[in-house]
Structure 1
Amino acid sequence: MAASEEDVLLSERSNVDELDWVPIKLTLVEYPKGDWLGKILAVSSLSPFGILSGFVALILFRRDVHTVVFFLGTMLNELLNQLLKYTLCEPRPMHRHNLYSEYGMPSAHSQFMWFFTSYVIYFVCIRLHHMNNNTTLENVWKTVIISSCVSLAVIVSFSRVYLQYHTWRQVLYGAIVGFLFGSVWFAATYFLFTPFFPVVVSWRISEFLLLRDTTLIPNVLWFEYTNTRQEARARGRKLVSMKSQ
């Protein structure tokens, strides 16, 4: 009986060994062992997934229709990247081409980051502002946001070349395509889609999903902060009044 059980275990193990195990290449990032810079750049390559997680969180908790349109743009940008890859059919660098069946032109990471960065630049400079209050502090935090996005895009793009997932040419074309599509998508959102936001949020399905349009509010964060504080104070005074009775 013991021998038969051992035979069964060996048979199951051999069947497992014969299986063709395939990693999820989307999140698989390798770096040279002992290379601390490579490790940092490998972690930075995961930035697009963090940004996508942020989109999901914002959509779930803020329900702003502009955020939904921005997220839709990132999905279309990824679709455009796949269309270009399978149209140009340019392989990755040689040793990466042996590991990845997906083509390398243009770099998806580079295109994603520069799409996001270009859209944020336009959004911060054109859409996000105080009403008639162009203060020095406002210019400082705008500069911080823009410089942070540009720096992260540069780091992620450089990481794809340093880790030998793409050539400089593939990364450069990814950046160009991403920046151009981000510009086009922001222009379409600002001039074409935004006028229809009030209509969209009035739909029954939008009311059910609690979608809202904050386009006409100059600074959403300040608006929500002041209104929440006023409401909290009013409810606090009402609670104290009820307890005193």
Structure 2
Amino acid sequence: MVLRNASLRGHQKIGLVVGFDFESALNRTSKWLVTSLFGIAVLWRRDAGSLWAMMGLCINTWISIKLKKALNHKRPTSDYKPDPGMPSSHAQNIFYGVVFANMSLLQRLGTNFSTVTTGILILLLGSYLAWLRISQKLHTVKQVIVGAILGFVFGIAWFFLWHSFLVNVYHLYFWVRVVMVLSSLASCGAFFFYIVRYWF
């Protein structure tokens, strides 16, 4: 009985270690996951809407960086990252992606069982990735919630700005298309240099 209990405790400890390692690795790759999905969407669709979504991700990141510097709110621990933590850039970008993905899904395919189910799964995955920032002690609950709200609101605003107004202007005027493409390339280029400088 003693040996059995010891064995069970050993398995539990191993499970905890494996779980922690998995979550830590997933947390580190979450920003790459979100950015890669947007990049794949641009390459796959090759249309103005996907460029607009990618530009929104870049601007959303820039907003988060500026807010961090302005608010200067400390992280739970500065051992891993000494920079400010309010709002969580990960949560802000994740929920921007969640909103944009779900709204694009509903706009293209309508509301049905498949789109609602997929939307819920996307939301749950995004929430889990955002929660990892708390479990890994990189952000407080408040920092993640604020980041999630900002990303959620910005995602809705950015989506409706395109579909309710700019998409029509884009197809009407050539100069708007030129400005749109150049702005997208400029923002994506700036985001690329930011990745090279701070993510490696």
Same fold (TM over 0.5): yes
Q: Which moves more between the two structures, 153-162 or 54-63?
A: 54-63
How many residues end up aligned between the 2 structures?
Answer: 166
Runs (5+) with no aligned partner, structure 2: 1-14, 180-200
Q: Is the 8 A contact 2:92 2:149 kept in 1?
A: yes
Q: Deviations over 1:134-161 (max 9, x none)?
A: xxxx722202320121011111111011
Q: Separation in 1 of the partners of 2:127 and 2:62?
A: 22
SS where residue 104 of structure 1 aligns? Answer: coil
In the TM superposition, residue 203 of structure 1 has moved relative to its aligned partner by 8.3
Q: Which has the larger radius of gyration?
A: 1
CA contact (8 A) 2:170 2:176 kept: no
- When the two chains are superposed, the root-mean-square deviation of aligned CA atoms in Å is 2.7
Structure 1: how far apart are the matches of 2:140 and 2:176? 47
SS at match of 1:98: coil
| 1:63 partnered with 2:46 | yes
1:169-208 matched pairs, under 5 angstroms: 169-199=142-172
Cα distance, 1:103–1:117 mapped onto 2, change above 3 Å: same
Distance 1:175 1:159 in 2: 13
**Correspondence 1:122 to 2:103:** yes
Normalising to structure 2: TM-score of the pair?
Answer: 0.73
Gaps of 5+ in 1: 1-32, 131-137, 207-245
Q: Distance in 1 between matches of 2:71 and 2:177?
A: 44
Aligned partners of 1:42, 1:75: CA distance in 2, in Å?
A: 25
Residue 42 (str. 1) matches residue 24 (str. 2): yes
Greater per-residue helix proportion? 2
CA distance in 2, matches of 1:201, 1:54: 29
| Residue equivalent to 1:161 | 134
1:149 aligns with 2:131: no
CA deviation profile, 1:105-143 (whole Å, cap 9, x unmatched): 111111111111112222222x1126xxxxxxx722202
Give the Cα separation in 2 of the matches to 1:204 and 1:119: 21
Q: CA deviation at 1:80?
A: 0.6
TM-score for the superposition, normalised by structure 1: 0.60
Q: What pairs up with 1:28-107 in 2 under 5 angstroms?
A: 35-45=17-27, 46-94=29-77, 97-107=78-88
**Residue 187 of structure 1: how far off its partner (Å):** 1.4
2:129 match: secondary structure: helix
Moved more, 34-43 or 62-71: 34-43
Q: CA deviation at 1:101?
A: 2.5
Measure, in 2, the Cα distance between the counterparts of 1:201 and 1:123.
25
How high is the sequence identity, in percent, across the aligned residues? 23
Separation in structure 1 between the aligned mates of residue 172 and residue 26 of structure 2, nearest angstrom: 40
- Counterpart of 2:5 in structure 1 is none
- 2-structure distance, mates of 1:144, 1:200: 38
